[in-house]
Chains A and B, each alone.
Chain A
Amino acid sequence: MSIETLPPDPPPVTHAGEAPPPDRRGIGAVMLGGARQLVVPILSLVTALVIGAIVIILSDPEFIAKVGSDPGAALAAGFGSVGGAYGGLLQGSIGNPFRDIGPVTETLLRATPLIFAGLAVALGFRAGLFNIGAEGQIYIGALFATAVGIGFTDLPLLVHLPLAVAAGFLGGAVWGFVPGILKARTGAHEVITTIMLNYVSYLIVDLALRQVFFQLPGRDDPISKNILPSATLPRLLPDERLHWGLIIALLAAVAVWWLLFRSTKGFEFRAVGLNPSAARYAGMNISRTVVLTMMISGGLAGLAGASEILGTNLRLTPNFSPNWGFDAIAIALLGASRPVGVVFSAILFGALRAGAAPMQVQTGIPVDLVVVIQGLVIIFIAAPALVRAMYRIRVARTTGTETFSKGWGA
């Protein structure tokens, strides 16, 4: 049994009549505390890259051909492939930002929907809800945004665009409301209902795109009309695809942070997530909190869909999301359900996605390697004990300052 599960029984350190010691935690300690939280995610990433390297070596045809006859040359070839692959990833995701900002903007472009969706899942986690339905909420949000984006003509940009973005939020919120109300009223578990609603949403989008209102004239396949320019998210830089969706995503992250940590509703969300019976004891309405959380979570996911359609794709098609809603679960986990963590995790995932295609072009290593690395990161994040064991990190739950809180009255 580990120390983690059996906290020790330390002796009291306080003395009779002693006032509570002042807060000794300086800014340094607070920052150190933050750094400690980064240890596991960073080590997880490093470990995933190392194992990814092994996978590259083992799947390198030159390595396999030579490993029997000339192990040295085989290894050299293997390492060459690893260098090529990771170099390609870096080239595609960062490159040389001073000469060409392109790769960086591509990374941020890919990170944008992941930030929204990651925030959606993280918000759910905070309230103790496992929203696996971000994918479906993305689709319904995209559908609503598209409807507004193609449906209103002659509106000025300053009216039309916010309306279209808001419609995206609304669509996702509606799609989050359904599992929320089902859970609150009937106890139906949100994991089941959101997964099932994902399928419903795919088919709703497919069906809608075959209706006259949505379908691009002259096409038989499900594809929408183009988003009107007045509802299009402007580009941030003239020659790059990166658009205002990123700014909205970053604002959403700030908003979610404020909601969670500075508002009464967030207080309720977190209390319900950490201890529902104490929340009930404190007079909070659990059902209402569940419904509201699912709606906001769904709305955030809906924004991912809206931002993608209004900023990047400019028309809605089925299967436009490469599983952002599921990557979002990983991103929320990697980001420890903190808005700032979600932003950085989403950028990391965006970089992997942005770098994957250039890597394949340069080295012939398939983009699937990126999926392998993502999967490995998630495994290590989900099993922090594994990472701690590998790197022999001691869990020091009881630190010096904390002993002051134990025992009293002596």
Chain B
Amino acid sequence: MTEQQDNAVMQPTQASATALHTNGQAHLAAAEQPAGPLIVEARNVDKRFGRVAVLDNLTLTVEAGEIFGLIGPSGSGKTTTIHLFCGHLEPSGGTVRVLGENPVSFSSAARRRIGYMPQNFVLPLDLTIKQNMGFAAGLYGLSEWGSRKRIRETLELVELWDARKRSARNASGGMLRRLALAATLVHDPDLIFADEPTANLDPILRAKLWRHFRSLSASGRTLLLTTQYIDEAEYCDRVGLMYDGMLIADGKPNDLRRRAFGGDVVAITLGDKAASAAYVVARVPGVRGTESTRDGTLRVTVESADRAIPALLDALDSNNISVQSIAQVRATFDEVFIRLIEQHGEGRPALGRLRTSAADMEDTE
């Protein structure tokens, strides 16, 4: 796949990222706040189905009020991890604690605090949207009549209130996804496991949902969700990258970005002498590496972009190399994750796999 094709794949997600930009900044600030107690904890967890290992030595923690995003290609073990946390599956090795309990033997009190949104739509198709909400509320012991206000609020959140009388069978894929999410939230859970909650939704609605996720997080709710939209990692407090059943990296989004590239990246568009520019730049203190792209841009990895840009400009100017533009590059998470997977040692196959999944996502959109 060419770089141009890569860019084409990323464009739709970048659009949604823009829509969420303001809110995303708010998250990052929130993420800096002191961490709460551990809500979800997995230590050295293995999961095998017969001889097939699906999860390998997974260690992961999620703190109260945090949005933790599990990101990775199809088949990387994201859904299995969610099932382990929900108690549908029992680990083959290691320990899992959710809300301080073993998920396999959750107490009723713990169950009432959990919301689960499966990857597929599993609510009854023959019921109307509102009846489905009543059903979801009823499973948690809330009567349909008693929770009508909450049902309305939740349906309005996902923009389904006007379609409440429509049978789920006649709803579009996006509507079903929204209904599933609304059903997960109807009992106002403290901890939400959502398996690809934004799949098949348009960018505007995705942005709206992410804002709601942030508000839930701000009110102390904890969210652990999976997504194949890699750009959505930006809006998580912490992100775990899964690949072939392993958690190959986890941390705050910016930390992962820096880890992937070894620092900040600065892009320099040169007027001429591009060949000698790389030599000059490499000698500037704080520069960790350079890379020339096909369009003539020089990408420089530095310890800190703020400190390096003036130094780079001085060095190039003193060597009579004209600079058309210079700016810090905020690498997309597609790039970040491809780098991390490559660093993990999987090399080209891994890269190809991630790109394929990104292309698949675009197809589904």
Q: Do A and B bind each other?
A: no
- A residues adjacent to B (C-beta < 8 A): none
